[in-house]
Amino acid sequence: MDNKREQFLLHLYDQLWASIDRATGGLWQYLALYGGIVGVHWGAGKGDIAPTLAANLSIVAAFWGINIAINAGKWFERNRMMIINIEKQFLQRDDLGKIMPVSYHKRVPKTFFTFLTLSHVLVFTCFIALSLWTYWDAISSHCNSRVIALFLVLIGILLSAWHWYWSFKHVQRFVEHTASVEGP
User: Residues 152, 155, 157, 162: is their CA dihedral positive or negative?
Assistant: negative
pLDDT: which is higher, 107 or 13:
13
Q: How far apart are CA 23 and CA 82, in angstroms?
A: 17
Write down the pLDDT at residue 138: 86
* Higher-scoring residue by pLDDT: 16, 47: 47
Q: Is the pLDDT of residue 184 over 60?
A: no
> Could you report the per-residue pLDDT of 51-108, keeping only the tens digit for each?
888 889 999 999 998 998 888 888 777 777 777 777 777 777 777 777 777 776 665 6
20 has a pLDDT exceeding 70:
no
Q: How confident is the model at residue 160 (pLDDT cuts 50, 70, 90)?
A: very high
How does the average pLDDT of the chain come out, rounded?
A: 82
- Counting Cα atoms < 13 Å in the Cβ hemisphere of 35 gives 6
Alpha helices in 106-142 (DSSP H): 115-140
- What is the rounded CA–CA span in Å between residue 20 and residue 15? 9
Residue among 154, 142, 157 nearest 52 (CA) = 142
pLDDT in tens, 120-146: 889 899 989 988 998 888 888 888 888
